[in-house]
Structure 1
Amino acid sequence: MKSLATIRAIVEELACKNPYTGLKDLPEIPRPEESSIPRELPSLQQIPYVQNVLNMLSYNFLPQTFFCLEKHRSLDSIMLTSKEILAEALPIRCLEATFVGLYLTHGMKGVDRIPLSFKSRARGKSFHHIVLVIRCDSLYGALGLSRRSTLMDKPMIYKNLFELIMEYKEQYEAIGHQLVDFKLGLCASHESHSRKAPCWRYIAVSFVKWNSPLRLTSPHPSDELPTSENSKVSSEDGCAEEPSVLANVSNLLDRYSELLTIISAQYEKCTTPFLHGSTRESHPICLRDLHEMEETTARQENMRRLEAICSGRLPCLVFDVGTKKRAASRSTSKKRIETSRKNRDCNANFRHKMHRNRHEKVF
């Protein structure tokens, strides 16, 4: 019996032999081209062309990936990875498709790009997926890739976030999955070469009703074990079929859509550029990505955000950066004026004393 090392050597030798070497008149493999997107069209009409580019890349069914999957980094770094993906034209998965979607829609100023991630359960295991929600002209759709064609992109026909997410929920149920939760980020920046990291998970909403209709799920997927026991508990305690849960989720998403632009602007103004190895503790906790917090802190903060949003309030009451600078400038100006006034008074007193002393010496 041949050893494992011998078998590997034989496999590697066979893999090095390309059966198409030297053959002529081979059809040229189509490559995704950014130039295939007609940029002269309105943004809404460009979205299907962006999805066509993702479709040409195709889904990667191999056990390994070809590109960096780290998403907690600067947007500029993500754009560089997206360019590499388009240049190499290798198959990708859902996260890389989100990267490329961000890159290809970067110049569409009238388009909001919002990360949307899902967690589902089937056969005692947990599954995770992500797409890029597109909001344009008060319509919603999505860009993405998946093993299942029904969990990929969605056309720009949905009137609100709730309709879009319910469409994904129905498609999950059609393949025997229970949609456990979803997480929404903030609008990605359109700034060129932004050194700030996108916010991938600003709120987390569970369809599973335990203590609250808007129960927080774990912001750290790796902390949740995909056991069959967890699946039994979820199904016994109730899920999103209850109308009250869906009504609460619908209300939450409507309010979140209204506040999303303001919260995203606050995030861009108050967060600092991303640096590898640096902590994000200097950022206001109300603007941090849930993934950046400890699980207990993330649960508490997410619940606070959900309650504020459901009430129509901004979850982050931070002062405008420009206002702070103007206030500090006015304060500095006042101090300078007071100091200058004191100096003038001191100089006047000094001159008066010198003049009086000189007058006394004369007489």
Structure 2
Amino acid sequence: MLLLRKRKIGHKFSMESDDEDVNFYINRGGFPIQQEYWHKLWKHTKRHHSAKGEEAENQIRGNRSLSKVPVPIAPTITPGMTTEERIICIQNYISDLHYNFTGLQFFEIKKSRPMSGLMEIAKDMIKESLPIKCLEAVILSIYFTCGLEGLDRFPISFKSCFNSHHHRHVVLGIHYSGRYGALGLSRRRTLMYKPLIYRSLMDLIQQYKTSYEECYHELEKVKIGLPVDHSVHSCEPIKWKHVAINYKKSSTDNVRKALEKFSKQIKTKMYSEIKIATSSKSQKSPYGSSQNHNSSETKATNKNKTKKQPVLYQIKI
């Protein structure tokens, strides 16, 4: 879960606010972790644990007698496993990495990066086996589910409010054989993994809404992105927002209609690539009317392309 982001100009690190209103830093220097980021991590510990922070640092830093932390083993997917079994195996691995409470986010995730770049970060997560946060868990879930035939994956983002503070969270929604579920990681077990048992997307979202209420959070907004490409080499970025729901301005019926409409679009294009159709403006020729003889041919070509291209319109309620 993420809240506000603060950037320092001229510095390589940035500071964010967590769902417990605890600031944390992002490691932008890669691996091995540079000394300045270790310094920020321990500074965070001292600041948020008051008198015990320095004591904890002295007990851990330089202590060679600490017990070794077990390294989670990446899930082994065999041909005989069902899709449901593979999903459980992937979620167990993500849970074994544990949620990151250190105050330093170890992997920098830029949502605008192409799919191939994010998949390289996922490989680094497996190699380093460090604790992760919700956005990192989504990227890792996408990596492990690439190539699972018939499985649709789409990001689901949440914005909630507790005690006048806004909190953000994201999971990876999944759809398979008429059932919905989700993969992810959170401080709260009820806000992460959901098994493939929900008959509709509305049931899945409603389950998250109930879980937020049990944590005394008011769910304000939900955003659902388009299905993610199954190719780890895709140069296209992930579409994080396609359906935007504002619970403060929408009735339950409107929410249900929007989710049903989106679900129908997904089901009808389950095994094909889905893109939002965009209209490109015609470019003026620097040679004036000398290019007019190609206009009829260009129009016919564009018309054929328009017919073949699948269309999904953005839904806002």
What does residue 248 of structure 1 align with?
254
In the alignment, the residues of structure 1 paired with residue 63 and residue 153 of structure 2 have an alpha-carbon distance, to the nearest angstrom, of 42
Residue 267 of structure 1, CA deviation: 1.3
Provide the rounded CA distance (Å) in 2 between the counterparts of 1:125 and 1:247: 28
State the alpha-carbon separation in 2 of the partners of residues 319 and 157 from structure 1: 42
Residue identity opposite 2:305 in structure 1: V
Would the aligned equivalents of 2:114 and 2:238 in 1 still touch at CA under 8 Å? yes
Q: Which residue does the alignment assign to 1:46? A: 86
Q: How does 1:248-267 map to 2 (within 5 A)?
A: 248-260=254-266, 262=269, 265-267=273-275
1:33 correspondence with 2:17 = no
Q: What is the letter of the counterpart of residue 30 of structure 1? A: V
User: 1:174–1:192: structure 2 CA closer, same or farther, 3 Å change rule?
Assistant: closer
Mapped partners of 1:28, 1:180: distance in 2:
38
SS in 1 for 2:107: coil
- Residue identity opposite 1:33 in structure 2: A
Distance 2:232 2:144 in 1: 13
> Does structure 2 retain, via aligned residues, the 8 Å contact 1:44–1:137?
no
Q: Which has the higher strand share?
A: 2
Q: Which residue of 2 aligns with 1:289?
A: none
TM-score of the pair, normalised by structure 2: 0.67
**Where do 1:160-175 residues align within 5 Å?**
160-175=200-215
1:38 CA displacement: 3.5
Amino acid at match of 1:265: E
After superposition, the Cα gap between the structure-2 partners of 1:39 and 1:14, relative to the gap in structure 1 and judged at 3 Å, is same
Q: Which digits, 9 at most, give the CA deviation of each residue in 1:279-303, with x for residues without a partner?
A: xxxx549xxxxxxxxxxxxxxxxxx
- Residue identity in the other structure for 2:273: A
Q: Determine helix, strand or coil for the equivalent of 1:34.
A: coil
Determine the C-alpha separation between the residues in 1 that align with 2:303 and 2:231: 22
Higher relative contact order (CA 8 A, sep 6+): 2
Does the 8 Å contact 2:143/2:232 carry over to 1? no
**Which has the higher Rg, Structure 1 or Structure 2?**
1
Q: Aligned AA for 1:321?
A: K
1:106 shift after superposition: 0.3
| TM-aligned CA deviation for residue 163 of structure 1 | 0.2
Which of 61, 64, 73 lines up with 1:19 in the alignment?
A: 64
Q: Which residue of 1 aligns with 2:229?
A: 189
Any stretches of 5+ residues in structure 2 without a counterpart? 1-41, 44-53, 281-301, 310-317
For residues 1-363 of structure 1, what are the structure 2 equivalents within 5 Å?
16-20=61-65, 29-35=70-76, 37-209=77-249, 213=250, 245-260=251-266, 262=269, 265-267=273-275, 283-284=278-279, 321=305
CA distance in 1, matches of 2:157, 2:89: 23
Q: Deviations over 1:228-277 (max 9, x none)?
A: xxxxxxxxxxxxxxxxx111111111111111354983418x6xxxxxxx
SS at the partner of 2:273?
A: helix
Contact persistence 1:118–1:128 (CA under 8 A): yes
The answer on whether the counterparts of 2:243 and 2:262 sit within 8 Å (CA) in structure 1 is no
**How many correspondences in the alignment?**
234
Kindly, what percent of the aligned residue pairs are identical?
34
Question: How far did 1:192 drift?
Answer: 3.8
In the alignment, the residues of structure 1 paired with residue 153 and residue 253 of structure 2 have an alpha-carbon distance, to the nearest angstrom, of 25
Contact 1:266/1:320 (<8 A) preserved:
no
Contact kept in structure 1, 2:154 and 2:224, CA below 8 Å: yes
Residue 60 of structure 1: how far off its partner (Å): 0.3
Calculate the aligned-residue CA RMSD, in Å. 2.8
2:62 partner amino acid: K
Corresponding residue SS for 1:172: helix
**What's the offset of the Cα at 1:323?**
5.9
Letter in 1 for 2:146: H
One-letter code of the match for 1:253?
L
The amino acid that maps onto 1:142 is A
2:100 touches 2:133 (CA, 8 Å); kept in 1? Answer: yes
For 1:39 and 1:194, how far apart are their aligned partners in 2?
24
- What stretches of structure 1 of length at least 5 have no aligned partner? 1-6, 214-244, 271-282, 286-317, 326-363
Q: CA deviation at 1:158?
A: 0.1
Q: What is the alpha-carbon distance in structure 2 between the residues aligned to residue 319 and residue 169 of structure 1?
A: 43
Distance 2:279 2:128 in 1: 39
Please list the CA deviations of residues 15-73 of structure 1 after superposition, one character each: whole Å capped at 9, or x if unmatched: 6413327xxxx6671323132x3443122321111100101111001222000121211
Conservation of the 8 A alpha-carbon contact between 1:139 and 1:156: yes
Distance 1:119 1:28 in 2: 33
**Cα deviation, residue 80, structure 1:** 0.6
- The structural deviation recorded for 1:161 is 0.5
Identify which range, 117-126 or 61-70, moves more after superposition: 61-70
